Structure 1
Amino acid sequence: MSNPRVWLVTGASSGFGRLMSELVLSKGDIAVATARKPETLDDLKIKYSPSKLLVLKLDVTHAQEIKDAFTGIQETFGRLDVVFNNAGYSTMGEVEATPEHVARTMFDTNFWGATNVSAEAVRFFREENRPAGGRLIVNSSEVGVHGLAGCGFYSATKHALEGVTSALAQELDPEWNIKITLVEPGTFRTEILAKLGEGYSHPAYTKPSLLSNVNRAALPDEKLMKQADTSKGVQKIYDLSLLPNPPLRLPLGKDAVAMVRGEAKSILEDAAKYESWSEGLDFDA
């Protein structure tokens, strides 16, 4: 593309967000990199001029900070081409073990925060861009398709995000030229993954054979669970942003593809096995 695109990347301090910000800049595009602690991006600010990189403080749990970020983009660049809606976090713990306030905080970030970013992105693409249009890439997870034992509430946040994003994509007027994709990464090597074992445990779930304990031991250990290269994954997401007709969902990583296939197979098998139970449920004529 001849003109550099303006990207908004949330959760840019580490992981997918940090690597996407670096890749966008290396491609000659413009990055608006946001983080709860913007000082974590000081090294990038030294390397790139303000015409290429705008660093903003953004805690997605604060609705006004989301609006302020989009206002700053409008005032600085006048347009926005791609939103990488990435901010989020996870913790491990059985459903019975995870404190409610921890689960609610996770929902505030992973669901409400991400959803508010998506809604503001759609508004900006429709009302601020001339011509209207833009790309919204929402970073979900393979556990948004199949819940993971030991990460029940994190899985729930991603399930909810998948549902609202799918509905949002259906609601858009095609004339607005807004493309939405849910990226569903599998197990990629990030700082977040290494910290997952620092969560919560329940005294009733002590057997090592229980799936929550198997997953707790395996997730942070690359020897027990194969981890994909995050840099390569981010490159694929960048490539996705260039597709004229992107998919609604992109499982990313061999484990994610296998999980989606397995979940789809299980759903279809159950539907076929019990299809007859739905017969005769109509009101009598």
Structure 2
Amino acid sequence: MSFDKDSVWFITGASSGLGKSITRAAYESGYQIAATARSVRSLSYLPDEPRVLKLSLDVTSAEQIESSLAATVAHFGRLDVVINNAGYGLRGDTEAVIDADALNQMETNFWGPVRITRGALRIFREVNAAGQGGTIVQISSVGGWVGFPGNAYYHASKFALEGFTESVAKEMDPAWNIKFLLAVPGGVRTNFAATSVKAIPRHKAYDTPSSPLTQILNYISEPSAQETWSDPDVCARLLVNTVVNQKQRPMPTRLLFGAETIPLLESDMEKTLAEIREWKAETESCSPRGGAQLNFGKKE
């Protein structure tokens, strides 16, 4: 997959934070941009010119998703990269979160990207030139692999997005040339924690000085905590370069942002492997053939 200056990038949640940094990085690299946000006014940092299309998009609206993708194709005639970035955090004791808030979290962080992905796949396959394909980047999180207290529904949305992406990526016919990337930020110095998180009032049973969520809240409230977090502009340039240079260096399944993501994921993997090995005999006893191996999807 090669990228020329006519390549079109469709980016959700482009108004602030990492999405804004990615949009700027793609624009400054010379590509055509379809930038979306709930309010077009929030995209005023982008110039008004033919290679920039500003669209109002609420990713919880299937109709707006369809119309914004159609507008992008109508304006540019193609679509090359989709960045599913729009999302927010829902923080609170799980028992305190009402169903409406939990459902909206899934609509925004999971179903929005799912609907955009399905729409983009058709464009990559049926509108773009044969074999041109396209790339879909899902902005996940270290919270799409590791769970932390007080963020159960946020983690559910990101775990779901990762599972969906891994599965649909394996459905692609190689001839279509459609690629997927999961971007996995840790702490990033944006306004996400301050303005993109809906905080639920504490449940009285959990609102204690020693509770795990209280400890996390104390940590993120410290100004010094963000000093080690990643620079969003650096993350954005890494993401754009990874997508653009995928022909020379194939993209990973997950692209991690931030040094702290490595020990967090490694620790979780090592703990899981240790448990698998400890319970191996019991696990194999459930199978009639004991140590039978599953080779689905592997070439002999």
TM-score by length of 1: 0.94
- Partner residue, 1:162: 162
Distance 1:253 1:265 in 2: 20
Corresponding residue number in structure 2 for 1:256: 261
Question: For residues 38 and 189 of structure 2, what CA distance do their matches in structure 1 show?
Answer: 22
Secondary structure (helix, strand or coil) at the match of 1:235 reads: helix
Alignment partner of 1:247 is 2:252: yes
CA apart distance, 1:17: 1.2
Residue number in structure 1 paired with 2:10 = 8
Report the Cα offset of residue 191 of structure 1.
1.2
Q: Alpha carbon RMSD of aligned pairs, Å?
A: 1.8
Instruction: Please give the residue correspondences for 1:29-48 in structure 2 after superposition, counting only pairs within 5 Å.
Output: 29-44=31-46, 47-48=47-48
Secondary structure in 2 matching 1:91: strand
Aligned identity (percent) is: 33
Secondary structure in 1 aligned to 2:82? strand
Alignment of 1:78-157 (within 5 A): 78-131=77-130, 132-157=132-157
Residues 281 and 43 of structure 1, relative CA distance in 2, 3 Å threshold: closer
Counterpart of 2:176, as a letter, is W
Contact 2:10–2:81 (8 Å) recurs in 1: yes
Q: Comparing 217-226 with 5-14, which one deviates more in the overlay?
A: 217-226
Count of matched residue pairs: 282
For residues 123 and 220 of structure 2, the distance between their equivalents in structure 1, rounded to whole angstroms, comes to: 38
**CA displacement, residues 239-259 of structure 1 (integer Å, 9 cap, x when unaligned):** 111222211111211111221
Kindly state the Cα deviation for residue 43 of structure 1 after the two structures are TM-superposed: 3.7
Aligned to 1:201: 202
Paired residue type of 2:6: P
Read off the aligned partner of 1:52 and give its amino acid letter.
R
**C-alpha deviation, 1:176, in angstroms:** 0.6
Equivalence for 1:176 = 176
Q: Does 1:281 align with 2:286?
A: yes
Larger mean Cα displacement after TM superposition, 217-226 or 139-148: 217-226
Q: Taking structure 1 as reference, are residues 12 and 2 closer, same or farther at Cα in structure 2, changes over 3 Å only? A: closer
Query: Could you tell me whether the CA contact under 8 Å between 2:89 and 2:198 is conserved in 1?
Result: no
CA gap of 1:69–1:150, structure 2 versus 1, over 3 A, is: same
1:75 aligns with 2:82: no
Secondary structure of the 1:223 match is helix
Q: Is the 8 A contact 1:60 1:109 kept in 2?
A: yes
| Paired residue type of 1:171 | E
Distance 2:57 2:33 in 1: 14
Give the SS at the match of 2:138: strand
The alpha-carbon deviation at position 64 of structure 1 amounts to 1.3
Distance (Å, rounded) in 2 between the aligned partners of 1:206 and 1:269: 33
TM-score (norm 2): 0.89
The answer to whether 1:215 aligns with 2:216 is: yes
Alignment match of 1:234 (pick from 211, 233, 236): 236
Q: CA deviation at 1:283?
A: 4.5
State the distance in 1 between where 2:143 and 2:218 align: 17
Aligned 8 A contact 2:89 2:154 in 1:
yes
Please give the alpha-carbon distance, in whole angstroms, between the structure 2 residues aligned to 1:187 and 1:220: 13
CA contact (8 A) 1:19 1:234 kept: yes
Structure 1 spans left out of the alignment, 5+ residues: none
Distance 2:37 2:284 in 1: 52
8 A Cα contact 2:12 2:85, kept in partner: yes
- Output the CA distance in 1 between the equivalents of 2:212 and 2:218: 10
1:197–1:62 CA distance, 2 compared to 1 (3 A): closer
Give the whole-Å Cα distance in 2 for the aligned partners of 1:67 and 1:220: 39
